[in-house]
């Protein structure tokens, strides 16, 4: 039985171009900070990669910092802006990824008050609530571009308008929309953007943070002054080269409607029914079917999927996103996420849908 991987929102397979770029870069052992020939060659790889990634974001070369992950980018943005800031409130969408929400305790220790912005049943940020929370003491608003569990696309332009009107900065976690939606930093209008290599066919353990020129951010890691003193530590040259090669690889269209439509006909209840969702993420429930049982059975049937929620010590916790959307604990424990890769064919997705419906039927009867 061929396995079908439907968990691309968790991570994507390494693209051949990225693997090759990393193999090539592994020969360049120099330290990019060294002034000699070996160092200069390693520096050139990092510079070329920064050029590719800044261009893909519509940013200037100097506005892109490499980090160790999407998570690190988010923490650097949130805490790096909060250090020594005179405004003392940060607003976060309640459906943000844990890498944003779990930064709140650190921010509180820095003397920042953190308030959560409500979301509706589909995970969409409540703009009225944002307006009610907004004030001249708000330093930063964190709103992701699209949700990693549900695929819901957030009203980022309105968030930027409401925030900028009051002088607040906007941080956007764009890990799930980078190279899957067509945007650049000027379209979004935000001040800081995080992205991650392993969601776009690059290696794990590399991310980037866009910081709009002039944004007052402080480093969290001091040391050798790398990344314009914003993130010290000798650069992950191989990982960075692999990241850029994945970004430069030719784009392929996503094809997910086959899966969405097929599952809907079989009793699957999609969580997001508006047009404002990522095509690559199909989230929903088979009412009465527990997600954990379903995922174990699907794995045995050759389908790798996810609940989208965090998994700790082998069991799935109820999704904080679904709870924030107003689902009950039972409903939240039924949430399933199928996330499709760019090159998956309709035939593969139809086969996946048949296996998924069969698994749901077996668990229901
Ligand atoms: N933000 C979102 C929306 C994500 O989906 C993820 C990955 O799970 C991250 C941040 C974290 O990225 P990384 O795995 O590179 O730390």
What average pLDDT score do residues 15-27 get?
98
Using CA of residue 212, residue 166, residue 124, residue 85, what is the dihedral sign?
positive
Token pair of 263 as six digits: 């599952």
Can 172 be counted among the known catalytic residues? no
Judge if pTM exceeds 0.95: yes
> What letter would DSSP give residue 250?
P
For the chain, the average pLDDT equals 95
Q: How many helices (H) and strands (E) does the chain have?
A: 15, 14
Distance from the CA of 266 to the center of ligand 1, in angstroms?
31
Residue 343's pLDDT band (boundaries 50, 70, 90)?
A: confident
Atom of ligand 1 nearest to the CA of 9: 5
pLDDT at 275: 85
Residues 6+ apart with CB under 8 A from 174: 144, 145, 146, 183, 188, 193, 194, 195
Q: Is 114 helix (H, G, I), strand (E, B) or coil?
A: strand
pLDDT at 336: 97
> What letter would DSSP give residue 101?
H
List, for residues 86-129, the tens digit of each pLDDT value. 999 999 999 999 999 999 999 999 999 999 999 999 999 999 99
List, for residues 165-179, the tens digit of each pLDDT value. 999 999 999 999 999
Q: Are 242 and 14 in contact (CB under 8 A)?
A: yes
Distance from the CA of 177 to the center of ligand 1, in angstroms?
11
What average pLDDT score do residues 21-34 get?
98
Token pair of 33 as six digits: 């900070």
| Binding pocket residue ranges, ligand 1, CB within 6 Å | 69-71, 97, 99, 144, 148, 173, 175-176, 196, 207
């Amino acid at each position: 039985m061929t396995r079908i991987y439907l968990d691309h929102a968790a991570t994507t397979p390494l693209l051949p171009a990225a693997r090759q770029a990393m193999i090539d870069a592994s020969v360049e052992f120099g330290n990019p900070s060294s002034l000699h020939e070996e160092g200069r060659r390693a520096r050139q790889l990092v510079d070329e990669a920064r050029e590719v990634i800044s261009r893909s974001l519509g940013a200037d070369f100097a506005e892109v910092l490499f980090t160790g992950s999407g998570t690190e980018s988010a923490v650097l943005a949130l805490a790096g802006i909060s250090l020594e800031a005179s405004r003392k409130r940060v607003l976060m969408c309640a459906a943000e990824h844990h890498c944003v929400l779990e930064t709140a305790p650190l921010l509180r220790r820095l003397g920042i008050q953190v308030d959560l912005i409500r979301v509706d049943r589909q995970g969409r940020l409540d703009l009225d609530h944002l307006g009610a929370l907004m004030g001249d003491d708000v330093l930063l608003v964190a709103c992701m571009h699209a949700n990693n569990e549900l695929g819901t696309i957030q009203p980022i332009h309105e968030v930027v308008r409401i925030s900028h009107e009051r002088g607040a900065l906007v941080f956007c976690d764009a890990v799930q929309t980078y190279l899957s939606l067509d945007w650049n930093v000027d379209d979004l209008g935000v001040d800081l953007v995080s992205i991650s290599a392993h969601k776009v066919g690059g290696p794990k353990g590399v991310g980037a943070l866009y910081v709009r020129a002039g944004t007052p951010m402080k480093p969290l890691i001091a040391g050798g002054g790398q990344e314009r003193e914003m993130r010290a530590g000798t650069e992950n040259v191989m990982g960075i080269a692999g990241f850029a090669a994945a970004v430069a690889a030719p784009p392929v269209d996503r094809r997910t409607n086959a899966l969405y439509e097929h599952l809907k006909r079989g009793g699957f209840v999609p969580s997001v029914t508006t047009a404002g969702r990522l095509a690559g993420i199909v989230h929903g429930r088979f009412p009465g079917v527990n997600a954990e049982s379903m995922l174990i059975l699907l794995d045995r049937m050759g389908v790798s999927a996810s609940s989208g929620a965090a998994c700790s010590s082998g069991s799935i916790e109820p999704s904080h996103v679904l709870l924030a959307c107003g689902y009950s604990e039972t409903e939240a424990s039924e949430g399933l996420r199928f996330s499709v890769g760019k090159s998956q064919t309709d035939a593969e997705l139809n086969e996946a849908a048949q296996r998924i419906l069969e698994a749901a039927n077996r668990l229901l009867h």
